[in-house]
Structure 1
Amino acid sequence: MSAVILALAAGAVIGLALGALGGGGSVLAVPALIYLLGFSPVAATTASLVIVSVTSATALSAHAREGHVRWRTGLLFAAAGIGPAMLGGALAGHLPAAPLTVAFALVAGAAAVRMLRPRSDGGDTVPVRRGRAAAAGAGLGAVTGVLGVGGGFLAVPALVGVLGMRMRAAVGTSLLVITVNSLAALAMRASTAGGLDWAVTGPFAAAAILGAWDGKRLSARISGPALQRIFAVVLLAVAGLMLVDAVVR
């Protein structure tokens, strides 16, 4: 199977998850780029940031039109993560492949376990505590910068549990946070972006954008918790395979 066809298929799946769940799909982009398309870990995390940036921005526009984005809170959350995201992006280019793969596998595994746990819907009446928002946003930015993931799988639980948002608002707002953090991290990787295989990265990103639109429609038809459990099981299996590969290699 050609690399372009694989990129289109993988991009569609990742966009579908991102559009339906407001995050999580991007965490599969890195393993797909490494194991299906032959990217190095550093190149994969950079390409993932490109894909996540454009896909999240596209999905954000759809959620914003429906009034599901809390702009003030989202920008506060994202602003705290810009600096850590940029530092993480600069650091990632100097990390050896094996530790980067292990770190990614551990974060992906933790995200999968978190997705399998039930979570409450929260309520928008909870006041935003700026200190907690800043701490959560900074941590999310660091993860985005180093590992090349949007961090929606962390942003949505934080927005619900820490800031008390309802799920629909958290999903839409997480896309704003993901877009800002991904662009900040990508700014520190400009030197590596030029060496990407754009013949593969371009179709991957295009398919992810189209998948995000379908995911938005899918979320209105299928139970969110059901979609999340399926995705979490797949993510947990991928994390396990990456960890074994990094240790054995």
Structure 2
Amino acid sequence: MLQYIGYIVTVLVGVTLGMMGSGGSILTVPNLVYLFGLNPVQATSYSLFIIGITSIIGSIPKIKNKLVNYRIAIIFGIPSMFSMFATRRFLMPQLPAQFQIPFVGVVEKDLLLMIAFAVVMILAAYSMITNKQEDCIDCGKKMEKNTKLLVIQGVIIGMISGIFGAGGGFLIIPGLVVLAKVPMKNAVATSLFLVAINSFVGFGSDYQQFSSFNWNLLGILTGLSVIGIIIGNYLSKFISSTQLKPIFGYFILVIAGLILIQELIY
């Protein structure tokens, strides 16, 4: 029964990616952990594959409509890609199975990862919900020239994406909209393009685990997610940028709350 619910959630993963250029990983990781019974570390690898394939397919119509900002994608994406690869390849294998937290005691790595994931989501959601700025094409063009800011953002988001097995869209969108002043529709398209690249790099860095993967399950989930993103791309045509920002923020907030409830109460 739980797996059938998981299949439905997987379609929703694609829908959210198509509509908002992100949100796939924040649904995929909990979906794989709670409904398919994977451990959080393995779930992050599965998530990167599913989100990578889905995002690259979903970005095709947005590329055709010239919504992807390639300058930002390059300046932001290359540092993010290298940061994510280094995190997955060198940092993650070194993390201990348990952490000693002051005033708390011993905490398992899996629990700590899920709680930290939820906290980062809440911060990203807050930045979008409280951001009242209107889309400004000229503002975005000015910020494109701030190479240093975009590189720093890319490195930080790449590292966070590597730790949590996320394509990074739920952080890329607030970064592009709030800090880089990119119009929401362009931020969604650029994010989807970057998420695809980041996900493939992150998944490739886990090559030593490939033999232990359930490729049949991975193929089914990826197919369902692709169906979802086709639906999401279609629905995005009917939602304005102004409506999309708070929807995105509250969506992330709800998922973060559910993760915290599951990890801390149940």
Could you say what secondary structure the match of 1:15 adopts? helix
Task: Summarize the Cα distance change of 1:83–1:152 in structure 2 as closer, same or farther, 3 Å threshold.
Answer: same
Task: Summarize the Cα distance change of 1:162–1:237 in structure 2 as closer, same or farther, 3 Å threshold.
Answer: closer
Mapped contact 2:48–2:165 kept (Cα < 8 A): yes
Aligned residue for 1:82? 81
- Matching of residues 144-183 of structure 1 within 5 Å: 144-183=161-200
Cα distance in 2 between the residues matched to 1:122 and 1:192: 44
* Unmatched tracts of structure 2, length 5 or more: 96-108
The RMSD of aligned alpha carbons is 2.2
Aligned residue for 1:105? 118
Aligned residue for 2:147? 130
Cα distance in 2 between the residues matched to 1:77 and 1:231: 21
Aligned residue pairs total 248
- Matching of residues 206-221 of structure 1 within 5 Å: 206-221=223-238
* Unmatched tracts of structure 1, length 5 or more: none
One-letter identity of the residue aligned with 2:112: P
Aligned residue for 2:129? 116
The 10-residue stretch of structure 1 (132-141 or 114-123) with the greater mean CA deviation from structure 2:
114-123
Mapped contact 1:22–1:171 kept (Cα < 8 A): yes
Q: Which has the larger radius of gyration?
A: 2
The 10-residue stretch of structure 1 (226-235 or 115-124) with the greater mean CA deviation from structure 2:
226-235
> What's the offset of the Cα at 1:172?
1.1
Cα distance in 1 between the residues matched to 2:123 and 2:209: 28
> What's the offset of the Cα at 1:57?
0.6
Task: Summarize the Cα distance change of 1:51–1:32 in structure 2 as closer, same or farther, 3 Å threshold.
Answer: same
Could you say what secondary structure the match of 1:194 adopts? helix
Structure 2 length-normalised TM: 0.84
One-letter identity of the residue aligned with 2:145: V
The match for 1:195 among 204, 207, 212 is 212
> What's the offset of the Cα at 1:229?
4.0
Mapped contact 2:184–2:245 kept (Cα < 8 A): no
The 10-residue stretch of structure 1 (230-239 or 125-134) with the greater mean CA deviation from structure 2:
230-239
CA-to-partner distance for each residue in 1:57-87, whole Å, 9 max, x for gaps? 1111110000111223212210011221012
Aligned residue for 2:65? 66
Structure 1 length-normalised TM: 0.89
CA-to-partner distance for each residue in 1:103-125, whole Å, 9 max, x for gaps? 11212222333332334323243
Task: Summarize the Cα distance change of 1:94–1:129 in structure 2 as closer, same or farther, 3 Å threshold.
Answer: same
